[in-house]
Structure 1
Amino acid sequence: MQFSIVIPVYNVAPYLRECVDSVLAQNSTDYEIILVDDGSTDNSPAICDEYAEKYSQIKVIHKTNGGLSDARNFGIKEAQGDYLMFLDSDDFWNRENVLLDLHNIIKENNPDLIIHELSSFYNLEKIIPRKFKNKEIQNFSYDFKEDLKYLVNNDIYYATACNKVIKASIVKKNNIEFPKGKLHEDVVWCADIIPYINNYALYSNPFYYYRKERDGSLTVQIRPKNIIDLIDIISEKETLLSKFDGGLSYLSYNYYIYLNNVNLLEEELKQKYLRKLINLNYLLDYYPRNILSLKGKIRLAFYKLLGIKFAGLIEYNIRKLLKK
């Protein structure tokens, strides 16, 4: 089959049917759905089994809880398709022609990677499409290494697995896995695939609907582990990504996010991770300014002028006061 859609499942009973039905609605049948139940304690396992009994293209894996990365890795190992896709079980697709369109792109270009648009939404009341900048797309060569810097600087290549369709052989042959036990797993995975991608294609369709700020979601609240894991990841990937034009811009994009949040850590950890941030402060020179608002540009200049420690402390205290 052409596509394997890996869907990790953990306590998402209210959203799971909408997610799976959005794939079953496709006007193509050349795919499999792999539901990886990651030790759910709600009704999700029963829903998974119900779908597997009804639809032959659905496979279910029940496993003990190991986190999102572990669930995705299990799905990858079971995948039989030529291309891998990742769909989180509280999200869904909002088009019926997605797989047919992707099939046509593959037939024409045989890309290692397809990057597509997505939409963020808040209970469907506010939908924000994250679309490509068409003017910039026209100038791309579609050689991935050559274009990486432009893809990052134009907010096309960023840290999410869910807007990427990748050849399964690349992932399996090179043992590329999501890091078990770490948050920001997509930052790692999207960094690790960079050396192995040669040609790519773009699919201008924000069909993927990414649910924001769901109760119980890992992305709702910043915790110490979020901060520690992200700074460690950036430190670990610095050497790898410095080899590629645009690699440090990719890291800078993620580095910039938590500059003031290090102040949330307890004092000993704060000092340790503040030192790591300061050692990496040169990454600010690589930040993709094309995607910054005026406010963001002022913030960037503020950090470059005052330094990571003092600018971060000032911003942290201002945000703290505003919350009061």
Structure 2
Amino acid sequence: MIQQPELTVIMPVYNVEKYLPRALEHLAKQSNPNFKLLIVNDGSTDNTRKIAESYRNDFHDLKIINKPNGGLSDARNVGIDNVDTPYFTFHDGDDWVDSGYTDFFVRAFHEHPEAAMVSCGFWLDYENKKGSVPATKKKVNGMKEKLRSYQLICNPLGSLFDNHFLATPVKGYTWNKGYKLSVVRQNHLRFMGNLAFMEDQIFNVQYLAKTDGFYCDSTPLYHYWQRKDSMVHNFNLKMIPDNFRANYIILKTMIRSLWQEHKKEKGSEQELLEASERDQR
């Protein structure tokens, strides 16, 4: 008897008929198949919807939401609104994953109940190169305090330049992160619209600012397909003001949360000092 799934994989898709079969075939071969797959079809005009429908029998629980085109942030928000499992993650329709991907999130949350967010590493895969390349050779493992978490996630240059020298096995993406639905619901967290990019970094920083506990294992499990025609690899003028706007929001959120944490620690130290003084009387 299959237990109630604990994880939902949200897959926003838009005109990815060329890549979607690969994504779904890899997801269908997970070592832990007990998860829900939620495909949000964001107004695709090609065969994306038809392809998604053809894989219904390959998953224990597949839901497809077809909506008018509203952009990636809107599709992600619609996905979150329809999650009914304790944990969720995201998956882009042009990428694919290794067999231990879904099991990683469930296992990481079980083994580290103090973690509000968990993250795995990822591969880089190129159209003109054979084989998968780890995003970085840096090894990261274990629970991280808040400042270190921000350092691992934030990339101030966003996608303006090829900045692999700033690479970490974490970065600001959503597809190698696991989230707790309760955190999102309690804090009314949403993805921002009207941004050309970096909306994922903003969401992750705002999520971490409301929580304590981040767990990372840099073992790569997600394959990030480097498409030449993808939005993040094609510079446009809107990226410049959006980069400044996004970094302002991120920096403000980080400073505020770190200051609040500092005050909380100082308050705890004062309480301990007062308790010690009382004991000595």
Question: Are 2:90 and 1:77 aligned?
Answer: no
Q: Say if 2:119 is the partner of 1:106.
A: no
The 8 Å contact of residues 144 and 213 in structure 2, kept in 1 or not, is answered as: yes
1:119–1:129 Cα contact (<8 Å) kept:
yes
Cα distance in 2, alignment partners of residues 46 and 28 from structure 1: 26
Q: How does 1:88-237 map to 2 (within 5 A)?
A: 88-93=92-97, 95-110=98-113, 111-123=115-127, 125=130, 127-131=132-136, 133-134=138-139, 137=140, 142-145=143-146, 147-148=148-149, 151=152, 155-184=168-197, 185-215=199-229, 217-237=230-250
- 1:55-83 deviations in whole A, cap 9, x for unaligned? 44110000000011111111111112211
C-alpha separation between the residues in 2 aligned to 1:164 and 1:57?
21
Q: CA deviation at 1:114?
A: 0.7
User: Secondary structure of 1:8's match?
Assistant: strand
Is the alpha carbon distance of 1:125 and 1:132 closer, same or farther for their aligned partners in structure 2, counting shifts above 3 Å?
closer
Task: Show CA shifts across 1:131-163 (max 9, x none).
Answer: 4633xx47x6x2532533563598344221112
Give the counterpart of 1:241 among 254, 262, 277: 254
More helix by share: 1
CA contact (8 A) 1:149 1:245 kept: no
Q: Which amino acid aligns with 2:134?
A: P
Q: Is the 8 A contact 1:66 1:180 kept in 2?
A: no
**5+ unaligned residues in a row in structure 1: which ranges?**
247-324
Q: Percent identity?
A: 25
Correspondence 1:6 to 2:19: no
CA distances 1:178-220 after superposition (whole Å, capped 9, x unpaired): 11221221122122112123112222321100111343x1112
Cα distance between partner residues in 2 of 1:157 and 1:197: 17
Counterparts of 1:150 and 1:181 in 2: how far apart (Å)?
25
Q: How far off its partner does 1:237 sit?
A: 3.4
2:47 maps to amino acid:
N
Map residues 7-86 of structure 1 onto 2, 5 A cutoff: 7-52=11-56, 55-86=59-90
Equivalent position amino acid for 1:204 in 2: S
Report the CA distance shift for 1:66/1:57 in structure 2 as closer, same or farther (over 3 A).
Answer: same
Counterpart Cα distance in 2 of 1:52 and 1:214: 30
**In the superposition, relative to structure 1, how do residues 214 and 59 fare at CA in structure 2: closer, same or farther (>3 Å)?**
farther
Is this contact kept in 1: 2:121–2:176, CA < 8 A?
yes
Q: Which amino acid aligns with 1:179?
A: M
Which of 32-41 and 55-64 deviates more?
A: 55-64
* CA RMSD, Structure 1 to Structure 2 (Å): 2.4
Matched to 2:133, the amino acid is: I
| Secondary structure of the corresponding residue to residue 123 of structure 2 | strand
Indicate conservation of the 8 Å contact 1:132/1:204, yes or no: no
Structure 2: gaps spanning 5 or more residues: 154-165, 260-281
Pair 2,43 (structure 1): closer, same or farther in 2 beyond 3 Å: same
Cα deviation, residue 244, structure 1? 4.5
User: In 2, are the aligned partners of 1:19 and 1:92 still within 8 Å (CA)?
Assistant: yes
